[in-house]
Structure 1
Amino acid sequence: MEVADLPPTNLNLFCFTKNHSSSYVFIMHPKFPLPSCLSIDHNTTQRLPLDEKEAEDDERSTKCDTPLTCNKIPSSLAKALIHYTTSTITPQQTLKEISVTSKVLDKKSPCNFLVFGLGHDSLMWSSLNHGGRTIFLEEDESWIEQIQHRFPMLESYHVTYDSKVNQADNLMDVGKGPECTAVGDPRYSMCQLALKGLPSEVYDIKWDLIMVDAPTGYHDEAPGRMSAIYTAGMMARNKEEGETDVFVHDVNRVVEDNFSKAFLCEGYMKKQQGRLRHFNIPSHRDGSHRSFCPE
């Protein structure tokens, strides 16, 4: 009896896979257990076993050398898929902006990824860096509690920012001083722009990617991103070796525009897509004696 001749009620599962030299057919039939695999020669027609004995004979004679395995999707990725499939909330970044960072993550993950800000896109960033470590820094404690309740797998910490948007001009002048251009660990820096109260692991980890999408920064009295941008650049320079990809969102605003150019350096900018800028900053501790910004 050929496969096509089997009554529909006798055939529960029919699945094919291929390698370089042969194909395999898997069949679930109520009369016999599922064989590991049945090899099919491309030049011949494979007949189905008619009873259990014949099925056992076929299984012994056609065992696959390498058993096929089923790789189950991790639960964290499954939750992310379900969340974004059912969510009606649009992330702050556009698809084109997200794609800039995701392309770098695709090359570097699993890696160390630091994100200033905890938002509707945080689960996505953590999932795209599956197997790596992604840490989120957030100014709003109540928002952290909400997100942790929904997504307890995300690692986030509360941080405070002392400077406000209306102090940006003064801090830009401060940042030009020698104490701010000297490369070192931000927590021990004499520069007023350096963030010194972050969790210890934030300073200890050597980051592959850093994204600045917080604090708020959208009105004069709001915490500004001046210190976050400066600290991200200093962490990249202070790394013992290698390069750090730094991303700044909302560069359509004055603070993000000016501070990213000044402290992440236009010479290190790789790309701008919409409101997102991508910088690639090399280590300044690798013996190369680089200036703060490339000439």
Structure 2
Amino acid sequence: MRPKTNQGLNFKILLLGVFLAFLLLFILRSSLSTSKENPTPVLQNLPARNSNDVIEEAEAKSTNCSPSCNKIPRPLAQALLHYTTSTITPQQTLKEISVTAKVLEKKSPCNFLVFGLGHDSLMWSTFNYGGRTVFLEEDGAWIEQIKRRFPTLESYHVKYDSKVNQAENLMDVGKGPECTAVGDPKFSMCQLALKGLPNDIYETKWDLIMVDAPTGYYEEAPGRMTAIYTAGMMARNREEGETDVFVHDVNRVVEDKFSNAFLCEGYMKKQVGRLRHFTIPSHRDNLDKPFCPV
């Protein structure tokens, strides 16, 4: 989630284009909402008034919008200002960001859960304008630093007990019946399930989940084994519908093997660069459904 490379120009072009698209959508929704709330008066039931007077009054009301009604919403303006003036850009590439942005364009406003907190978090929250975007971060000090810069972001501290050097053993553990049984990760007996998240995280029906944390590039790092597994179980355990799950850095062994095993190759929609996109259906309506599609 934290920046490692500079893709400034391409990223800013993408961001500007997406913000303009969201702005146009926002204005269109506002216009439709205004027209529904203030329909043109019916003339038949107003015999005591001149019809021309009624029409003129209706037209005046339809154009009598407050000075702020067509302004860019403050969160969008703040994000646009931040990214167009910042030399720091997200770790994901233009093509990788575009994959998730296209899904958000269709589903937002929605519930979006992100494992990781960084300089791209404001971008994801803005793409999901009007929805709820929550970030789970391993570094408490980093959360405080980001909160000082972007106080509106919703984030929570998460402790991970796993390490990258335990990945092979955890893969074997994940094949056991306690890990393939569909259920709430909060009450799971599987060693891979994250148990210490706020209750609300388990209770929310997430439309999108992105796994771009915790740290996973050295042996003693927490690794993303439990984050990937928990994301998959949250998707399977929702009452109905599908969850779009994204995993970044699949060029690494852990992200590659654990995403294929616990999010399932059969549920994978596409891979672009180091990002994989899975669409996982609910399993609660059919507990006999195989963990991965045959």
Q: Shared fold by TM > 0.5?
A: yes
Residue equivalent to 1:29: none
Matched position secondary structure for 2:170: helix
Deviation by residue 1:235-290 (Cα, 9 ceiling, x = unmatched):
00000100000000000000000000000000000010000000000000123731
Report what 2:275 is aligned to. 276
Q: Give the equivalent residue in structure 2 for 1:67.
A: 63
Alignment of 1:109-148 (within 5 A): 109-148=108-147
What is the SS of the residue equivalent to 1:79? helix
Give, as a single letter, the amino acid of the residue that structure 2 aligns with 1:66.
S
- Between the two structures, name the one with larger relative contact order (CA 8 Å, sep ≥ 6): 2
Shift of 1:66: 2.9
Q: Is the 8 A contact 2:182 2:287 kept in 1?
A: no
Q: What is the aligned partner in structure 1 of residue 218 from structure 2?
A: 219
Structure 1 residue 266 corresponds to structure 2 residue 262: no
Q: Deviations over 1:136-191 (max 9, x none)?
A: 00000111001000000000000010000000000000000000000000010000
- Quick one: which amino acid aligns to residue 96 of structure 2? E
Residue 198 of structure 1: aligned partner: 197
- Aligned partner letter, 1:200: N
Task: Output the amino acid matched with 1:251.
Answer: V
Q: Distance in 1 between matches of 2:63 and 2:288?
A: 55
Question: Post-superposition shift, 1:90?
Answer: 2.0
CA-to-partner distance for each residue in 1:57-79, whole Å, 9 max, x for gaps? Answer: xxx89x65731644221111111
Amino acid at match of 1:142: A
Q: How many residues align?
A: 236
Q: Which residue of 2 aligns with 1:230?
A: 229
Distance 1:222 1:240 in 2: 34
Aligned to 1:32: none
Match of 1:249 in 2: 248
Give deviations 1:101-131, integer Å, cap 9, x for gaps.
Answer: 0100000000000000001100000000011
Deviations 1:188-218 (A, max 9, x none): 0000000000111110100000000000001
**Number of the residue aligned with 1:171:** 170
User: Residue 99 of structure 1 aligns with which residue?
Assistant: 98
Q: Find the residue that maps to 1:66 and give its secondary structure.
A: helix
Find the structure with the greater CA-based Rg.
Answer: 1
Which of structure 1's runs of 4+ aligned residues deviate more than 2 A?
Answer: 63-66
Distance 1:172 1:89 in 2: 36
The AA in structure 2 aligned to 1:272 is Q
CA distance in 2, matches of 1:264, 1:232: 8
The gaps in structure 1 that reach 5 residues or longer are 1-59
| In structure 2, C-alpha distance between the alignment counterparts of 1:160 and 1:141, rounded to whole Å | 9
In angstroms, what is the RMSD of aligned CA positions?
1.6
Which structure has the highest strand share of the two?
1
Which residue in 2 is equivalent to 1:156? Answer: 155
Give 5+ residue unaligned stretches, structure 2.
1-55
Cα 1:269–1:68 shift into 2, 3 Å: farther
What's the secondary structure of 1:137's corresponding residue? Answer: strand
Amino acid of the structure 2 residue aligned with 1:229: I
Distance in 2, Cα, partners of 1:68 & 1:108: 32
**How far apart are the structure 2 equivalents of 1:88 and 1:227?**
33
Question: Aligned partners of 2:254, 2:199: CA distance in 1, in Å?
Answer: 27
